[in-house]
Structure 1
């Protein structure tokens, strides 16, 4: 008798309680808990099926997500959002024709939705149809700006077309239109920093963009060398040193990515001499012993794919002239020392570049050679 009573209670109480539970889990983003309701699908409403589908989507199970979106639509939850997320899931599965059908259905229901039109552009972009994608991204920018992202993609495609002047102008538009909480806002800043550095050579503007990007994502350490190089190119050496010190502190705390810890150096400057590029690297570890390297400078070939000459700044045993660090060159079978050094541990970047110029122009000759 108790089992019969409990069954009756379950029949009458379960639907209302269960519906509240699904909504609460969805609102609280408890996606792992939501997908456990999969075997209760027949008892769920159309909206609840959509919510379980969205949980699968967030957990990157796109096939399951699509299955639940279909169930939601079959139960009458046939709205723009369901078709949109089904289209996004199909996009991730690279089922582009089916994805377009769903996104078009979403747009038919909400014709001025900027995010939906942006997704249509992305579907074409993922297929390598850049010009077609550009048409839809540009169309999305003419919609009420509720999303912002298509402004980034328009600039990005012109960037890929190597129309750098137009791309830079459009990235600045994107910086005004893309919400700061959107990932593509930081991407916009990084591309502004890149183009201001390489195309316009306006290093102050480059540094400003990189600095803002880092302020928004301070743990993305791969962007720090970009800011350091921009500051050094702008001759704002103290600011460059301050950023390097932040990287050095992160290195000591084991926070840096593997590429930093593998080589233990940071690219801090790049410039040209006689149409050849030089890259300057600074060690993340303080030189302690004789021959420890604090700076490495590579002279590249005209194609930029091979090191022609390698220079270093090395710690030395303090000698009569009082130098604590000397300027050297490393060759395949020899190690050259030049009569150029520093009496303190503070080594100005401009001094290093001066020494390199003198060597390359032939006015600074080696004083010692070691095999």
Structure 2
């Protein structure tokens, strides 16, 4: 991309009050952004409001700074083995699945492997809570690994919790012709948010893609994260919600998926867990209840599916050796809902010190998860 072309695209992107819908109408009528800015007031007025015409005819005050920053970002050496580029609405490489959605971004800032873009056609989104239960984290990781083993790329938002677990699980498998995972972020690509995911971002870029519709320098503004969720759902064949509270950004992603005609899947959980209520609400609204990755693959009618005993499909990553006979009895007493230490003492009759020691051993072996509030929960594989 030449600098004058970059300037025109960024000017269109930064015009206050214009928005994607009007910008797309202008592009359809006049072609590239350079042509839009060559039009007179009368021509622009046939497709835009008076306020929008004024905005289009006024150079944004921060345009030159943004052009310089973006041009420098494109020229600088990226993470080893990766590339940086802008994928515009007129680009032949623009993701086809996103192009047909109601509100495709004008520009996608990209970091990673451009050769992997065609593989985006075989992908599934995994989203969920930023504060998942241990079981939710394990589910996100093992479902992502199973999808990757089945030849799918996993799309998520690189947030804390379920998103990060999904990316990690996908990076353990082969993905879609080398495309392991895609992170759609809500900030500019010149920063990593949250900062603790810097190493994860590097690994995603080396085996996949990181993308954003927001200009460089965009900070983590709360309103941007729900907006980017339409891209996560739009890129994928279906969206799996692992855990979500009733007021959750994951439900926004699921709503976008439904509006885009995509499949929505949800993993059920305990009726006592706030993190399961969003999934249960989705299921009541028609989302597909799933218990294994195979359920998703079959619903999407994908030809490459895993055999029932394939590693990662049903077995939890954290599960070590099978629990001993004594521990199996304790697990039975636990059930599958969160339970307190006092309740377990009453159910088992064991002394508190003995019970704490055995629970610690089960936790280290991946059979039990520790929850906030002093609660424990049996992991699904145990």
The answer to which structure, 1 or 2, has the higher relative contact order (CA under 8 A, 6+ apart) is: 2
Which structure shows the bigger proportion of residues in helix conformation?
A: 1
Q: TM-score, normalised by structure 2?
A: 0.25
Q: TM-score, normalised by structure 1?
A: 0.26
